Chains A and B, each alone.
Chain A
């Protein structure tokens, strides 16, 4: 079943019939984490890099921010039986406006914070489709962990 994940949201599933999907990744970051042995995975759509701009909001909605969101996704997957060393991480999003001159660099910052959090958690980023000016749709198939991207009329898997 298709499970739609909105902006600033995440979901975890081990139901083989599920496909987790998130639309309209602009400068936001999407991350899929999948344990191939347990066949459990999660997808998150984080909007802004750091929760310090609104800690109260981060407590209510951790997935709004890349730092608190990715931590929550990892913790919940581990609680539900996934193993850290088996987690396959794939990222998409972090698009940029044209002639990005500093102030509008939410995408770049999201990407940096994502890498930092994954590194801190000993999780390697297997593949990514980031940057550019195109918006993306990202999906994770729970039966086999395939992560797909749709962008500018094209569809491809992240391998």
Chain B
């Protein structure tokens, strides 16, 4: 358990999200918060504003339109979407880096987070379920614990990999056995310390054990499924491989079929492709 203590002690040193993003997350639950509050929070941060506009201009969000400034983005996309894009843009700098501990090349974790957020939206649509406004954001932050373990602490993954692959354990079980904590709990504790709303923290905490969720169990289930679909598509697969166990109960409860999951995979990857040039500065 020594490693657990070490990890918990290091959490306060993890650089937080930009102030603007934390403010936006804070008003996510507030029905009275309008677009003006969001804009006021964002426009003081030029880097964040640039990244929000980059995302807003992707074909997935903007369609054929061109969005020149935040006000226009707010009018065209609506306040919920802008809130989601602010959080996505806020995690760009840190999630876009190489995550050494998990052997994830630069940009790969960011792609995974976006894929899971997009997959969660498409899965909700396929199930005719109305995703709450914070659903996309919660999915974006589900693996934040990997950034902590893999970048700030650079855990030695070798004994975890050894345990997972030789004994057929899921990667997060192996993490728990070796470190005394897994990336899900680490992420949730970090988000909690940032005072992020409970349903978002819960997704990070239970995305591998969706049956434990109590605040918004449906959202946790959706993210759980989208996470596994993303792994199958090879998006965000590092040293952990596909060593994760999808919940049989969730498959049954949501009446998931292979065709449905393949359709979600297809839509998710098509959407991700439209975002990729904005994200990674590719041509």
Contacts and interface: CB of A to CB of B under 8 A. Distances in A.
Nearest to A97: B242
A96 interface: yes
B168 A27 contact: no
B231 A57 contact: no
Interface in A23-59: 23-28, 47-50, 53-54, 57
A54 B237 CA distance: 25
Contacts of B246: 97, 99, 101, 103-104
A104 B252 CA distance: 12
B234 A152 contact: no
A50 B266 CA distance: 11
A133 B238 CA distance: 11
Interface string B238-257: 11011111101001000011
A68 interface: no
Nearest to B105: A23
Interface string A89-115: 000000111110111111101000000
A134 to B, nearest CB: 4
Contacts of A28: 232-234
Nearest to A24: B234
B233 A47 contact: yes
A103 B260 CA distance: 9
B269 A8 contact: yes
A37 to B, nearest CB: 33
Interface residues of A, number: 34
A24 B235 contact: yes
A103 B261 contact: yes
B241 A152 contact: yes
A7 B108 CA distance: 13
B228 A97 contact: yes
B233 A99 contact: no
A149 interface: no
B100 to A, nearest CB: 14
Given A24-B108, A26-B237, 14 more contacts: A7-B235, A26-B233, A28-B233, A53-B259, A64-B269, A98-B242, A103-B256, A103-B257, A103-B258, A105-B258, A107-B232, A109-B258, A132-B241, A152-B241
Interface of A: 7-8, 23-28, 47-50, 53-54, 57, 64, 95-99, 101-107, 109, 132-135, 152
Q: 3 closest A-B pairs (Cβ-Cβ)?
A: A26-B234, A24-B234, A27-B232
